[in-house]
Structure 1
């Protein structure tokens, strides 16, 4: 099966019960180095073109020890049809830095750009690693690094990251939904869903809304338009008639 030309964020979102979302980063979550290589290929390049090239390179250069010894001419052929040939040099330099100053648990680095911090993480010092690659690494790899180092993680890193990249945002919206929460990508606030969420259409959330007559109704609002139990935007559809006393009591117990 070929790679879809539509990015995951442009496709129907998988059900929360699905085992994966469909991002290429999920495939490389177990290898910090390879994930960063993939992220550099995806920099300003569509996935249907970048992903096959990244996989092809990693078959020949799967480890930093191997890639660090490659020549620019050997690596640039993987970018010949993608553009931004300087990325070949980035990968070689990233590999060299990895060997002498590898990412370490507990050692946070900064990537400066224009006098301000562009990225902040354990891998931000590596060549070619900007905000997107840093955020992707934090979401998919950081917890594994700390676990291997025997360092306790108070909260999963993916629950803390607020990425700007739309694909990572779509992934985290789905990941939070698996936990039973609606997540706002702008604020990073996750709000527990209503007990009646199971009655909602795909991609929607159910809330109780006070209408102009003082009656409370269960209504649908798009995911991402929910914050602190209130709908930020117009409801899409009514799920039921006026809520029963029993249901209202259940919602009141939840603080809704």
Structure 2
């Protein structure tokens, strides 16, 4: 993507909320007209982008449960149910000991309730038996690249100094690419003791590079989030390759203002120009 700002008409309505506190994000209070192709883009100086993962970053177990709820389900539907489940099962132990039918009845409206309930309970049980630990990694076949994990045994664990590709949570049931991408972006640095949050706060080494900078997610909201994070540092990021190019001043002005964005060839384009009606009734762009 050569640039991220273009003169196009912005959709009138922003997307459904993704954070719990007000049930409606302060940046995007209404659904988008075309939510499959558009996404609200807060200004780069905003305190958060609006993903629920930001809220759960210091609670990796709940973050992974959230990814199970959000998989194949819109946030506006999944998140109210998710937080009711958290209220009902406030600890890993409570989730691990519940009956699948009890949890399934709570999440029936989301669909796939039996599969989701079994995954959540199995995840909690495995977490208690083998919690994610620094220096203990497991294989995830073909993640993030095809062939990764093939050189690691099914029950093998590898240390941090092992060059093979493995992940601290790859042994947990229900953990797929979306869960792994979310955990890597928001949780891995803290679990490994490299920083106190995903943005690098409290990093002990000046050479520290946050894990989020190495992730190439397939999920559109995670891609949008990383686009936003790279813009904070003055870069336009290509989600296909991970390559960066310096953002122009025009792009940075757009990023500082925020707006609505849509995906084009897998990358995000900010739409900032208002639509004006000409005297002849035709649409014009400013």
TM-score in terms of structure 2 length: 0.64
Out of 80, 83, 97, the position equivalent to 1:69 is 97
* Distance change >3 Å, CA 196–CA 57, structure 1 → 2: closer
Superposition deviation, residue 110 in structure 1 = 2.1
The one-character-per-residue Cα deviations of 1:64-85 (angstroms, maximum 9, x if unpaired) are: 1111111111111122111112
In the TM superposition, what is the alpha-carbon distance from 1:148 to its structure 2 partner?
7.2
> Residue 176 and residue 183 in structure 1: after superposition, are their counterparts in 2 closer, same or farther (change >3 A)?
same
Displacement of 1:133 in angstroms is: 0.5
Greater Rg over alpha carbons, structure:
1
1:53–1:9 CA distance, 2 compared to 1 (3 A): farther
1:144 partnered with 2:190: yes
Q: 1:203 to 1:190 in 2, by over 3 A?
A: farther
Which moved further from structure 2: 21-30 or 58-67?
58-67
Matched residue of 1:37: which SS?
helix
2:216 corresponds to which of 154, 162, 176: 162
Q: Deviations over 1:198-227 (max 9, x none)?
A: 5557679xxxxxxxxxxxxxxxxx9989xx
In the alignment, what sits opposite 1:28?
56
Between Structure 1 and Structure 2, the one with more helix by share is 1
Query: What is the CA distance between 1:13 and its match in structure 2?
Result: 0.7
8 A Cα contact 2:38 2:263, kept in partner: no
Query: Pairwise CA RMSD of aligned residues?
Result: 3.5
CA contact (8 A) 1:120 1:134 kept: no
Q: Which runs of 5+ in 1 are unaligned?
A: 205-221, 226-236, 238-256
Aligned residue number for residue 41 of structure 1: 69
Question: What SS is found at the alignment partner of 1:134?
Answer: helix
Aligned-pair CA distance for 1:27: 1.0
SS in 1 for 2:86: helix
Q: 1:93 pairs with 102, 122, 128, which one?
A: 122
Post-superposition Cα deviations, 1:159-179, rounded to whole Å, max 9, x if no partner, equal 111111111000000011111
Report the secondary structure of 1:109's partner residue: coil
The CA deviation at 1:108 is 2.5
- Counterpart pick for 1:133 among 161, 166, 179: 179
Asked if residue 110 in structure 1 is aligned to residue 139 in structure 2, the reply is yes
- The structure-2 alpha-carbon separation of the partners of 1:198 and 1:170, relative to structure 1 and needing over 3 Å to count, comes to closer
- Runs of 5+ consecutive residues of structure 2 not aligned to the other structure: 1-21, 25-29, 150-164, 196-202, 266-272, 274-286
Higher RCO (Cα < 8 Å, 6 or more apart): 2
Q: Under a length normalisation based on structure 1, what TM-score does the superposition of the two structures give? A: 0.71
